[in-house]
Amino acid sequence: MASITKRGNTWQYTVSYMEDGKYKPIRKGGFRTKKEASVAAALVEANIAQGIIGIKKDIAFAQYFLEWYQTYKNDVGTITLKSYQATYNKLLSHFKDAPLQKVTKRDYQNFLNALGETSAKDTNRKLNGYIRTCLKEAIDEGLLRNDFTRNVTVTGSSGKKSSEKFLDYTSSQLLLQDLHNNIDQGIENIMLILALSTGLRYGELIGLCINDLDFKNNRIKVHRQWKYKEGGGFGPLKTEKSERTISIDKLTMKALKKHLITVKNDPANVYNLVFFEPSSDISVVTNDRLNDTLRSILKRLSIKPLITAHGLRHTHSSILLYKGISILYVSERLGHSNIDITTSTYAHVLKELRERDSEQTSNIFEQLLVV
């Protein structure tokens, strides 16, 4: 039976429960009336009866998130880990030491609205996903009863349109031909050729070693990446599914073989990197330098939009899908952790294909009637 007592101008409840053969109290005060304290105590008693111990000691929202990802997300890549750290910093800046248990749905929505004024919607959607996963754990631990992130509205700038992230087929053809015609102009050109023809992420591209190239079967093995944000050294791929072997066209492999002549005998290339650059602080061509080279070429060829090197990954995938390659194979080739990521990322291309396939399907059955 709960004990309800008055402390000054407010009321407090005390509920006892058995743990390890001993009675332990749960106390909470600050209620304006005796009835409010009694109702709250009844809820705690009901939870105890169901095997759910009352809400534990308050913990700061930001602090709980920090402890959660350090405990459960210690096997993620460095870049992803930095995303969790950035999320923690934003929570700490906004909520400071506010207890997790005191955050309301309106408080959290105001937090998202504030982020929406300065950040892209996709960035905020990812952040909200991290926090939602964290709160599920808090509920399982008995720290929370309700998920205050449920049905919130994620806001933010739209960022680039899908069409601004990749090149169309004609522009891709013009770019690739120009890169091959000027392959001796610098290491960046062969890197851009490989990025366009494989869809590799930048970290995967610069993490390639000479023994990862299979010239007999025209394939490359992707099994690690170069930690360019940490100053160099090998690190794990983004996900387990990212480890893969990719088939390459013969002309690209021929260009790679020619390129290796200049790097394989360099005594400074102790890691046998394919795209070793002795003048770089990270031993390879930087992402900024690669982006600058690509945009310079696109401007010279009057190609728009002026995409980044990562946009070549989207271009590669879009070309494959448009040419009828199965989305399952494209997903595997990109190293996505599941096909849902591929489907959502390239929804714009799939919509175009759906319209084309609809027309072709109608034509197929019309042709069946032709004698």
| Better pLDDT: 243 or 79 | 243
- CB environment 47-84: b (16+ within 10 A), e (fewer): bbeeeeebbeeebbbbbbbbebbeeeeeebbebbeebb
- For residue 199, the Cα-to-chain-centroid distance in whole angstroms is 17
**What is the average per-residue pLDDT within 265-270?**
89
141 has a pLDDT exceeding 70? yes
| Better pLDDT: 370 or 278 | 278
Beta partners for residue 220, in sequence order: 213, 246
- For residue 180, the Cα-to-chain-centroid distance in whole angstroms is 32
- CB environment 284-301: b (16+ within 10 A), e (fewer): bbebebbbebbbebbeee
pTM: 0.62
Distance from C-alpha of 326 to C-alpha of 318, rounded to nearest angstrom: 11
- Mean pLDDT, the chain, whole residue set: 87
| Better pLDDT: 358 or 237 | 237
Most confidently predicted of 64-68, 81-85, 235-239: 64-68
| Better pLDDT: 223 or 240 | 223
- Residue 44's pLDDT band, with cuts at 50, 70 and 90, is confident
251 has a pLDDT exceeding 60? yes
Condensed to tens digits (0 to 9), the pLDDT of residues 45-66 reads 877 776 666 555 678 999 999 9
| Better pLDDT: 300 or 323 | 300
- Residue 20's pLDDT band, with cuts at 50, 70 and 90, is low
